[in-house]
Amino acid sequence: MLGVPLLVATLLAGACGDGGGNDGGGASTTSTPAAGPTSATPSASQPRGGSVTIPTSAFADLPPELRKTPAQPTEVADALPELCDKEFRSGGRSVTASAAMMSTYKQPKDPPENVPYGTLHQTVFAFEGTGAADYLRRVRGAVADCLSFPAAGGSVTVTSRPMAGAGDEALLVTVSRPATGPDGSLAKGRATSQIVVIRVADAVTVVHDQGWEGTSADPGLADDIARSAFRGLDSWQR
């Protein structure tokens, strides 16, 4: 899925405070990959201190039957979902690096000419100290406080639960909202999307799984996507 052999998100360590320095709220920079067929690299922000590198191998590599388009770098602020508030932003606390990628996926038996089935936005944060565990604790609490909020055509409802078998700890968030058509206009029914948050050692990944152009994501693929995201993060952190 990841077409860049080395995704170099080199950042200076030691950011702190409430600003969104490492998730799109502050200055950003893009570095050049060490090698490979494309110059695409992730967006990243600049805290202070020593350097940290997030490799492409830290991101999910979906099985071939699910891959639709290669991952491309995107802004962290654009990749992170927002519910009642900015629940998934790090605020720059203890973050030493951050990077994000976006890709599309298909269902296993979809013919090549089909449009994508869904879109994945994935963010990886590296932390120092207890930052990774603290981040997951904050996210868990913020999501639990956001059971619903108003939206055009109705309301958005949010549920969350622990997810077993993925990393040191993981959270699955399911979001249900009024469905929309390809042009953004309201459609019949509701659409669901999923957010998986996984911690492995000192790193956390946030994967936002959305159906294509306002449709529902397939909850049956949540485990496959989570396993792929876990494998990438675990290969880097271990």
Instruction: Please tell me whether the overall predicted TM-score, pTM, comes out greater than 0.85 for this model.
Output: no
pLDDT value at 80 more than 90: yes
> Domains of the chain, with CATH numbers?
60-89+99-237 (3.40.1000)
25-35 average pLDDT score: 31
Mapped to the 3 state alphabet, what secondary structure does the chain carry? Answer: CECCCCCCCCEECCCCCCCCCCCCCCCEECCCCCCCCCCCCCCEECCCCCEECCCHHHCCCCCCCCEEEEEEECCHHHHCCCCCCCCCCCCCCCEEEEEEEEEEECCCCCCCCCCCCEEEEEEEEEECCCHHHHHHHHHHHHHHCCCEEEECCEEEEEEEEECCCCCCEEEEEEEEEEEECCCCCEEEEEEEEEEEEEEECCEEEEEEEEEHHHCCCCHHHHHHHHHHHHHHHHHHHC
Average pLDDT, the chain: 81
Confidence (pLDDT) at 218: 86
pLDDT of residue 1: 43
Q: What is the pLDDT of residue 153?
A: 83
Q: What's the whole-number mean pLDDT along residues 134-143?
A: 96
The residue-averaged pLDDT of 153-158 equals: 92
Tell me the pLDDT band of 22, cut-offs 50, 70 and 90: low
Give the pLDDT of residue 46.
40
Residue 234 is predicted with a pLDDT of 95
Residue 146 has pLDDT above 90, yes or no: yes
User: In this predicted model, what pLDDT tens digit does every residue of 177-212 receive, in sequence order?
Assistant: 998 888 778 888 899 999 999 999 999 999 999 999
Predicted local distance difference test score (pLDDT) of residue 50: 55
Residue 70 has pLDDT above 70, yes or no: yes
Task: Compute the average pLDDT of residues 93-101.
Answer: 93
pLDDT at 92: 79
